[in-house]
Amino acid sequence: MPRTERARASLLTAAVVVTAASLILAAQALQPRPPTLLSGITLSLVIEGPGWTITHQNNDTVNNTVFLFLLEAARTRHFTLEWENYSPPLSAVFIIAINGARNGDAHQYWQFWVDSVYGPTAADLAVLRGGETVLWKFDVSEEG
């Protein structure tokens, strides 16, 4: 391949890499962030695992996403919590296990509902405003 063709190919490759990196950074910047709370809100949590239930309530929490409130409950109620952080462009948290119950066991997975509405997004992107009840359930995958 002549030098000019190699140079063009190198420039094209560099342009593609720069464009892809720019798109990933833009997607991260545009992702919604939960508002910082100046005072606490009231939230309730119920976790239904295989043969066990954990409940947690806080009348003054500043953890205003489903994930942050679950993390608070794990620290307060002393149960294990495992999650995976997905990289851009998704940049979201995926719950892998709660209190030893792991996704895939008996074809069941962790899913959440807020006030009986199935979680439409990742737990760290689901913003809570106060007064909600969050249910985490270890069940067959919700279709929908």
Mean pLDDT highest for which of 6-10, 82-86, 127-131, 133-137? 133-137
- pTM of the entire predicted model: 0.73
Cα(92)–Cα(102) distance, integer angstroms: 18
12 pLDDT band, cuts 50/70/90, is: confident
Phi first, then psi: what are they for 26, rounded to 5°? -65, -40
Task: Determine the length of the chain.
Answer: 144
Peptide bond into 89 cis (omega under 30): yes
Residues with Cβ within 8 Å of residue 6, at least 6 apart in sequence: none
CA 45 to each of CA 1, 15, 26, 32, 133: distance values in angstroms, whole numbers, following the listed order = 64, 48, 34, 23, 6
Least Cα distance to 66 among 120, 1, 104 occurs for 120
Q: pLDDT tens-digit profile of 30-56?
A: 455 666 767 789 999 999 999 999 999
Q: Are 109 and 83 in contact (CB under 8 A)?
A: no
Residues with Cβ within 8 Å of residue 105, at least 6 apart in sequence: 50
Q: Are 41 and 128 in contact (CB under 8 A)?
A: yes
- How far is residue 85 CA from its own chain's centroid? 8
State the pLDDT at residue 30: 46
